[in-house]
């Protein structure tokens, strides 16, 4: 349910309404838009039948949100969500953010060299896994905290932000210490305890779509983050599992306009995992920009054949530079920038 407030609502009236909502055992979430301020009410809405809120000073109308994702819906916030991070990086705005780096952090020298390369080409985030969720228990699992330290140092020395994956509730505090944005991977999209913990941390979160998740599933997972008061959330389309075997996954470009219609949250496209082959990464990155994404995540490695994970989908530095040129041209064509 959302409470739409009058343009003339006073701070005292707003506080009074929120206090009454809390007294009913519900949680108010205030959203200040360009035209209106609204309050999203989270909890058992049956309690509102005891005390109608339409009669409160400052209230214009009370609307029921029929969709199960309340705070993520366009009903709650009509304007696109934008939030600013360090170095003046704005996520969700006109400029498309680019996250680039290796699939796994392997050593500092390699990472620092890549950070300089992707920064020069126009990336704003350094990506890399310190904790790796692998299909096989015998595959490289990441360097752990040592990898996080490498990411932070390389990013600080090159003026980049850090986005890296957190896999477990016990890791949230540690990863948040080093990262600017927490990534919740596809396999953890419905790890609800992890979602709650990341939401409570208030750190920006990149939430990746699960292998077989619908758009509704993704938005319901995002709702866990938003319900904890964390609205700095980016939704990631990284390909879903279909019957097609010519690519690693099927990059669902349909999802971009669908998600943009349903929610105010920014959307990122990961064509590296979405295709699984470096030959397809650049054209699908361009397609993602044309479809309206707000961010790209690209895997880059100096020597992909020696990469500890996902070498077949990692671009060489020169290929990443070419991708950025082509993606920037598409962005300009649709009124955006990279």
Same domain assignment for residues 44 and 137: no
Averaged pLDDT, 28-40? 85
Q: What is the pLDDT of residue 48?
A: 66
CATH code at 163? 3.20.20.70
Cβ 279 vs Cβ 294: under 8 Å: no
Q: Using one digit for the tens of pLDDT, what is the confidence trace for 215-241?
A: 999 999 999 999 999 999 999 999 999
Residue 314 counted as domain residue: yes
> What is the pLDDT, as a whole number, of residue 103?
93
Is 148 in the same domain as 291? yes
**Per-residue pLDDT, 32:** 84
Question: What's residue 253's pLDDT?
Answer: 96
19 and 123 both lie in a single domain: no
Instruction: Name which residue leads in pLDDT, 333 or 53.
Output: 333
pTM over 0.85: yes
Q: For residue 276, which of 240, 241, 312 has the smallest C-alpha distance? A: 312
Q: Are residues 163 and 222 in the same domain?
A: yes
Q: Are residues 275 and 196 in the same domain?
A: yes
Query: Token match 């704003």: residue?
Result: 124
Question: Is residue 73 one of the residues assigned to a domain?
Answer: no
Confidence of residue 139 (pLDDT cuts 50, 70, 90): low
Among the three residues 63, 96, 112, which one is the final residue of a domain in this structure? 63
Q: Is the pLDDT of residue 142 over 80?
A: no
Domain for residue 71, yes or no? no
Separation CA 85–CA 203 (nearest Å): 10
Question: How many domains does one find in the chain?
Answer: 2
Q: What is the DSSP letter of 96?
A: P
Residues 258 and 137 in one domain: yes
pLDDT attached to residue 34: 76
Assess whether 98 and 16 both reside in one domain: no
- Indicate whether 236 belongs to any domain: yes
Task: Please state the rounded mean pLDDT for residues 284-293.
Answer: 98
Sign of CA dihedral 92, 325, 209, 148: negative
- 76 domain residue, yes or no: no
Its sign, for the CA torsion 316, 319, 325, 329, is: negative
Q: Does residue 94 lie within any of the structural domains?
A: yes
Are the C-beta atoms of 29 and 73 separated by less than 8 Å?
no
**Better-predicted residue by pLDDT, 24 or 119:** 119
pLDDT in tens, 41-56: 887 767 666 567 788 8
Q: What percent of the chain has pLDDT over 70?
A: 95
Q: What is the mean pLDDT of residues 31-46?
A: 81
187 and 253: one domain?
yes
- Indicate whether 75 belongs to any domain: no
Domain holding 29: CATH number? 3.30.70.1140
Nearest to 25 by CA among 2, 46, 3: 46
Domain boundary among 63, 91, 112: 63
Is there a domain that residue 306 lies in?
yes
Helical segments of the chain, H only: 11-23, 108-121, 145-158, 172-178, 192-201, 215-227, 255-262, 271-275, 278-291, 317-333
Mean pLDDT across the chain, nearest whole number? Answer: 93
Do residue 187 and residue 96 come from a single domain? yes
Cα 55 off chain centre by = 38
132/196 same-domain check: yes
Question: Do 145 and 89 share a structural domain?
Answer: yes
Token readout for 315 is 């671009």
Q: Domain range holding 159?
A: 83-333
Domain identity same for 247 and 291: yes
């Amino acid at each position: 349910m959302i409470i739409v407030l009058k343009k003339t609502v006073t701070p005292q009236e707003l506080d009074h309404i929120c206090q009454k909502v809390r007294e009913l055992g519900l949680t108010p979430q205030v959203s200040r838009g360009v035209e209106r301020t609204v309050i999203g009410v989270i909890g058992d809405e049956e309690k509102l039948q005891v005390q109608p809120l339409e009669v409160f000073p400052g209230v214009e109308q009370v609307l029921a949100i029929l969709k199960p994702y309340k705070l993520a819906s366009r009903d709650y916030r009509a304007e696109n969500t934008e939030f600013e991070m360090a170095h003046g990086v704005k996520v969700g705005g006109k400029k498309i953010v680019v996250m680039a780096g290796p699939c796994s952090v392997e050593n500092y020298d390699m990472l620092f060299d890549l950070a300089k390369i992707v920064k020069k080409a126009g990336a704003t985030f350094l990506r890399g896994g310190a904790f790796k969720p692998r299909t096989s228990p015998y595959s490289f699992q990441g360097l752990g905290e040592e990898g996080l330290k490498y990411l932070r140092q390389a990013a600080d020395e090159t003026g980049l932000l850090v986005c890296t994956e957190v896999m477990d509730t016990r890791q949230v505090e540690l990863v948040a210490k080093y990262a600017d944005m927490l990534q919740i991977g596809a396999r953890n999209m419905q790890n609800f305890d992890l979602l709650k913990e990341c939401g409570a941390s208030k750190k920006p979160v990149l939430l990746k779509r699960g292998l077989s998740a619908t758009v509704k599933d993704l938005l319901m997972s995002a709702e866990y983050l938003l319900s904890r008061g964390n609205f700095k959330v980016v939704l990631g389309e990284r390909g879903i599992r279909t019957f097609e075997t010519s690519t690693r996954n099927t990059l669902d470009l349909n999802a971009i306009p669908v998600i943009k219609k349903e929610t105010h949250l920014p959307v990122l496209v990961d064509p590296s995992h979405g295709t699984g082959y470096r030959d397809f990464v650049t054209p699908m990155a361009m397609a993602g920009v044309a479809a309206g994404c707000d961010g790209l995540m690209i895997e880059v490695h100096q020597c992909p054949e020696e990469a500890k994970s996902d070498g077949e989908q990692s671009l060489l530095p020169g290929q990443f530079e070419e991708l950025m040129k082509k993606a920037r041209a598409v962005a300009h064509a649709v009124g955006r920038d990279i």
